[in-house]
């Protein structure tokens, strides 16, 4: 079945009945997103679920697929239909449906606490599709606690495959992962890194070698290797680059 733009908005119940004063608040979020985009390598955009459009798109290239921010703003959700491979487009539709279903089951006071994260491919001009990660969080709700304005951060994925659908609340410390095979949400324990493991990840991210890390921490190379092995086991990764990216994604630092 061919995916259409309207399919992404079927689960959304927010109504377009906002006043000019309401959008004065939104302007503050647009200015915030514009400032934030100058401080990060990630692509940033704001979604208006009432108008079914983007309010802001940064000029970081990860999300643009060769287009300009102005062109992506004009395309809106057609940008996905045009630039996501067919299999991943159906995956995005599934994530959209199960994500809003999860959200609807949250108490109204919990809805601004949670963010959703997931991976999918975006086509790149003259190159293979790039696996990216979306982190999406509502910023404003309507009077019925439906998501109205949401912030999305786009970065290169730390995983080898698309999917990896996760809802989490840093405030409550709860995390849920979606099992595509069983078609259910499963609450999972949050990964916890020990202080020494965090130190090793931070030093690795700074480009230090294992010898240099051992010197900084006043430990042996074997101790550094042991802690790296523990990190890889906890995060289920195979390299320090993957471990660092995933630790940032999961807010483990």
- The tens digit of pLDDT for each residue in 58-102 reads 998 889 999 999 999 999 999 999 999 999 999 999 999 999 999
CATH of 195-249, one of 1.10.10.60, 3.30.460.80, 3.30.450.40, 1.10.10.10: 1.10.10.10
Q: What pLDDT, in 10s, does the model give residues 147-201?
A: 999 999 999 888 889 999 999 887 878 889 999 999 999 998 878 888 999 998 8
Per-residue pLDDT, 191? 82
Going from N- to C-terminal start, the domains of the chain cover 5-187, 195-249
Distances (CA, A) of 81 to 52, 93, 229: 14, 10, 41
1 pLDDT exceeds 80?
A: no
- Calculate the CA 25 to chain-centre distance: 24
**Per-residue pLDDT averaged across 189-214, rounded?**
88
Angle 248-250-253 from CA coordinates, rounded to 5°: 55
Per-residue pLDDT, 18? 86
Q: Tokens representing 58?
A: 């940064």
Q: Is 161 helix (H, G, I), strand (E, B) or coil?
A: coil
Q: How far is the C-alpha of 224 from the C-alpha of 211, rounded, in Å?
A: 9
Per-residue pLDDT, 107? 92
Per-residue pLDDT, 253? 67
Q: Is 174 helix (H, G, I), strand (E, B) or coil?
A: strand
Q: Please check whether the two domains, 5-187 and 195-249, share a CATH topology.
A: no
CATH code of domain 5-187: 3.30.450.20
| Beta-strand pair 174-179/163-169 | antiparallel
Distances (CA, A) of 179 to 20, 46, 52, 97, 236: 42, 28, 28, 14, 17
What pTM was estimated for this model as a whole? 0.82
Q: What pLDDT, in 10s, does the model give residues 9-63?
A: 888 888 777 888 888 889 999 999 999 999 888 899 999 999 999 999 999 888 9
Q: How far is the C-alpha of 188 from the C-alpha of 178, rounded, in Å?
A: 10
């Amino acid at each position: 079945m061919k995916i259409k733009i309207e399919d992404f908005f079927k689960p959304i119940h927010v109504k377009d009945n906002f006043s000019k004063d309401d959008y004065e608040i939104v302007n503050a979020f647009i200015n915030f997103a514009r400032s934030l985009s100058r401080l990060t390598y990630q692509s940033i955009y704001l979604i208006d679920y009432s108008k079914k459009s983007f309010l802001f798109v940064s000029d970081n290239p990860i999300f643009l697929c060769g287009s300009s921010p102005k062109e992506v703003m004009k395309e809106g959700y057609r940008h996905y239909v045009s630039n996501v491979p067919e299999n991943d487009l159906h995956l995005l539709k599934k994530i959209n449906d199960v994500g809003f279903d999860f959200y609807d089951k949250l108490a109204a006071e919990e809805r601004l606490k949670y963010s959703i994260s997931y991976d999918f491919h975006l086509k790149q001009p003259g190159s293979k599709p790039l696996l990216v990660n979306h982190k999406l969080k509502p910023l404003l709700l309507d009077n019925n606690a439906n998501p109205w304005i949401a912030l999305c951060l786009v970065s290169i994925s730390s995983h080898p495959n698309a999917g990896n659908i996760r809802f989490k609340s840093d405030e409550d410390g709860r995390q849920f992962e979606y099992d595509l095979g069983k078609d259910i949400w499963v609450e999972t324990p949050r990964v916890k890194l020990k202080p020494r493991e965090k130190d090793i990840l931070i030093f690795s991210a700074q480009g230090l070698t294992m010898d240099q890390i051992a010197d900084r921490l006043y430990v042996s190379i074997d101790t550094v290797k042991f802690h790296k092995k523990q990190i890889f086991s906890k995060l289920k990764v195979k390299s320090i680059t993957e471990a660092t990216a995933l630790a940032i994604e999961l807010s483990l630092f």
